[in-house]
Amino acid sequence: MEKLFKITVAKEAVHALDCPADQKRSLLKALLTDGVAKKDCDRIIKAMKASPLIGEGPRQLKKRATFTDFKDGLAPSTMIDIIANNFNVDDAIEAIQNPDGCAQKDFGSKTGHKFGWHKKVNAARIAEAEKHIRACAKKTTSSSGRVADIGDASDGAVPSDTALPNVIDAAVLSDVIDAVDIVAARLSNSKRPLSKHTRRERFVKCRESVLDTLDVGDVKKAAVKAASTLSRNQVSTEKIDKDIALASVDDSDGYAPATIALANRIGKSFPSFNQIGTDTLNQIGTDTLMSHPKANLVAEAVISEAFHDPLNSLLSSATGGQESDIVSVFKSRKDLTDQVNTLHKKLKAAKLKAAAKTPAKTRSVITSDGTIPGGKVVWKPAAKVFSHSSGGKLDFEIPCWEWESPHPDVPEADPHFVFDGNNLLAFLRALIQNKATWLHGMPGTGKSSFVKEVAARMGWPLNCVNMDANIERPEFVGNRDIKNDGGVSITEFTRGILPNVMEQPGFFMMDEADYVRPDIAYVMQRVLEGNGLALMEEGGVIVQPHEYWRPVATANTVGQGDELGCYPGSRAQSQAYLDRWRRWITFSYLKPAREAKLICDKYPDLDVAMAEKLTAWGKEMRTAFENGELIGLPTSPRTLFSIAEDIIDFSQTMDMDKAISLAIDTTVINRCRMDVRQRVKEITKRVLG
C-alpha cells in the first residue's frame, strides 16, 4: 500500500468513510478531483474512449469520455482503493480497457462488469485500504507541533537542522532572536514594492510562524517568544530593511557568522512566504502573548533564574523604564485576562438564554371552534420534556402546547423511541429560532418518526403531506372551482393544503421533499423565508403563518439527485429552494446495542441473543450496501422488525433454524436482484448460522 502524500487527504478520507452513504460518495469524488494528476486524467479519458463498455450499443454505457463520468461510474470501494494507493489509477484504467480479463463481474448490470473495479480489488484489499487511511490520519503532528505529511520521516519529527541551542543566557537569547528576525525578513521580502505597513505586517506574521517551529521545548520556546515580543515590539522599517539585506549572505559586518548560520538552519523549514499559515497572529504584543494557550508556560519560563535578569532588562528597555519586573506584568495581565474570560462566558450564557425565547407570545392561546379544542403555549425545560435523550445539553426552554381536550392532530408518543441527543438539540434550537429544517438519511433511520415523537411530547399538531409527483399546485395552493349558485355558474377559489395548515400552529412535514415538483418548490420559497403565501387567485391575499407553525422536510437525499441509484423519482432541486432550508440534520442508523434493545422492547418474545444477532446481520448488510455490493438493498430497522416478527411467528410451527431461514427468505432474499442474492446468503450464513 503506497503512502498518502498529504495528511489532509488522509483526514478527509477518514471523514468520508465515517459519513452516511448518501454523503460518502460525494466526498470521495471530491478527493479524486483534487488528488488525481492531470496526466492520469488524460490516461483515463483515453481509456474510456477505447473501452468496450462505453458506446451506443444495448449492453454499453452511454457515458462521455470525461473524468467526471469516470468518477460517477465508480463504486465507493473502488474510490477508496484509489485514494489509499496515493491516487494510483492503473488498476481502474486496466479494468476499463480490458473488462473481460480484468474487471469484476456484475451480471445484474447492463455491461456485465463493474465499471473501473479491478478483479484483484477484493474485500480484503478494501478493508486494508480503509485501515491504511485511518492509520495515516493519526500521524497528525510532529514532535515540535508542526503538521507532518505522511511522506516525512517515519517518526514525524522535525529535521534536526531546526533544533536550536539551549537558551541559557541573554547573549544566546539575543542571537536566537536575531536569527529568527533574519528568517522572517527573508520570507516577508517581495520582488514588488510594498508599503511600510504591508512590509511590517508580513514581517510580523512571518516571525510568529518561525517562532512556532523552534525545537527548544515548550518552556524555552515560550521564553524566546516573550523576549522577542518585548525587544521587537516597535520594529522599525529600517531594521526590517537591514535584515532583508543581510538575509541572503553568509557573512556580514552587521551580524556574527554564527547568527547568519543559525538563521540559515532555521530557514530550511520555510521555502517561501506562501507556506506561512493564514491563521497566524497578525500582530504581536504583550497582551496578545498573554492570551496565548501557553501563557502559563511563559510565566514559568520567566520566573526561572536563567531568564529573570535578561528578560527584565529587555522589558525595561522596551517600555522606557515604565515596567521592569516581568513576573508582575504576567501576573497582572493574567488576572485581567481571567476577568475578561469570565465576563465573556456570562455574556454568552445570557445571549443563549435570551435566544431560547425568541418567538413572541402574543398569539399563544387558541380558542376552541367546536372541532379543535382550545389550548395555550407553556414554556417548559427541554431536559424535562425529553428526559431520556443523550448528547447535547438541553438547558433551555421550549414552547409546548397544552390542550383542553385531546387534539386530533397531536400524535401519540412511542415510549420505545430513542432520540439522538445531538439531532434533538439541533432540531429544537431550529424550532425556537424559526428555521426551516431538512432531515435526511437512509430509509428507516427514523426521520419521520423523529418529527412525530417530538410533536407528541411537545403537544404540537402534526400535518404530513407525501410530496409525490401527483401533488400539483392547484391541490397544494388552491384552485378556482365552478359552482352552481341558483342556476348561475360562478367561479370560487378553494384553498389548498398549504394555506389551510399555515394559519394553525404545528409542524407541517413535507415527507419525501426531494420529490417536490419545481412549481411547488418555488411556491415554498416565499413561505420558507417567513414572508407568507401570496394567493394571486384570491386577489393577492397574503396568508401569514401562525407564529408556532414550522415547516419540516424529510428526504433520503439532500435534494441534489439520487447518488446511490436507490431512489428513482427523486429530483435535483433548485439551489434557490434548498437555500431557504436553513437547518440540515443527518440521520444515521442506531448503534447496534441500542438497536438490539429496541428490537427486544418491541418484540419481548424474541430471545435477546437472537436480537443481537439480527442487529449484527443488519450492520453487515448496510456495510455491503455502502460498498456497492448490495445494489438497491438498504437494510432499514423496518426490515429487522419484520424479520423478528416473522421469526416469532414461524417458530411456532417449525424449529428455530428453519424459522430464521424462512423469515430471511420471505423478507429479504425473495425481493433481491439475482446478482446479489448469493452475497445476502453469505452474510446470513456467517452471522446467523
Instruction: Write the pLDDT tens digit of every residue in 399-417.
Output: 999 999 999 999 999 887 8
Q: Is the pLDDT score of 100 beyond 80?
A: yes
Contact call for residues 191 and 264 (beta carbons, < 8 A): no
Residue 426: predicted pLDDT = 92
Contact call for residues 284 and 233 (beta carbons, < 8 A): yes
Task: Give the DSSP H or E segment for 116.
Answer: strand 113-118
Task: Take residue 313 and report the three cell numbers written for it.
Answer: 532588562
Query: Residue 463: CA atoms inside 13 Å, Cβ hemisphere, count?
Result: 14
pLDDT: which is higher, 554 or 158: 554
**Sequence-ordered list of residues with C-beta below 8 angstroms from that of 354, at least 6 positions apart, any chain:** none
- Using alpha carbons, select from 276, 210, 219, 217 the residue that is nearest to residue 243: 210
Residue 351: predicted pLDDT = 66
Residue 550: predicted pLDDT = 94
Instruction: Write the pLDDT tens digit of every residue in 533-565.
Output: 888 877 778 899 999 999 999 998 888 877 666
Contact call for residues 119 and 103 (beta carbons, < 8 A): yes
Tell me which amino acid residue 141 is. T
* Domain spans of the chain, in order of start: 7-138, 160-335, 375-587, 592-688
- Average pLDDT score over residue span 46-67: 87
Q: What share of the chain is helix, strand, coil (3-state, %, to 5)?
A: 50, 10, 35
- Using alpha carbons, select from 553, 640, 554, 590 the residue that is nearest to residue 417: 590
Q: Is the pLDDT score of 599 beyond 70?
A: yes
Report strand pairing: 437-441 vs 549-555: parallel
| SS3 at position 210 | helix
What does pLDDT average to over the chain?
A: 75
**Residue the block writes with cell 503506497:** 2
Cα(586)–Cα(440) distance, integer angstroms: 5
Q: Is the pLDDT score of 520 beyond 70?
A: yes
What is the chain's alpha carbon radius of gyration, rounded to the nearest angstrom?
33
| SS3 at position 322 | coil
Cα(517)–Cα(573) distance, integer angstroms: 9
Distance (Å) of CA 121 to CA 80, 117, 679: 11, 7, 16
**Sequence-ordered list of residues with C-beta below 8 angstroms from that of 85, at least 6 positions apart, any chain:** 1, 2, 129
- What would the CATH number be for the domain defined by 375-587? 3.40.50.300
Q: What is the DSSP letter of 553?
A: E
- Average pLDDT score over residue span 228-256: 50
pTM score? 0.49
pLDDT: which is higher, 650 or 627: 650
Task: Give the DSSP H or E segment for 399.
Answer: strand 397-403
Query: Residue 466: CA atoms inside 13 Å, Cβ hemisphere, count?
Result: 3
Residue 285: predicted pLDDT = 33
Q: Is the pLDDT score of 301 beyond 70?
A: no
Between 21-35 and 76-84, two packed helices, what is the crossing angle to 10 degrees? Answer: 40
Distance (Å) of CA 315 to CA 176, 223, 312, 378: 17, 13, 5, 60
Q: Is the pLDDT score of 271 beyond 60?
A: no
Query: Both ends of the chain: CA-CA distance in Å?
Result: 34
Q: Is the pLDDT score of 420 beyond 80?
A: yes
Contact call for residues 285 and 212 (beta carbons, < 8 A): no
Cα(180)–Cα(418) distance, integer angstroms: 57
Q: Is the pLDDT score of 157 beyond 90?
A: no
**Residue the block writes with cell 385531546:** 406
What is the total residue count of the chain?
689
Instruction: Write the pLDDT tens digit of every residue in 169-216.
Output: 444 555 666 677 777 777 766 655 666 666 667 777 777 667 666 655
Distance (Å) of CA 110 to CA 60, 79, 297, 404, 632: 7, 21, 66, 61, 15
Residue 184: predicted pLDDT = 72
- Using alpha carbons, select from 598, 601, 501 the residue that is nearest to residue 549: 501
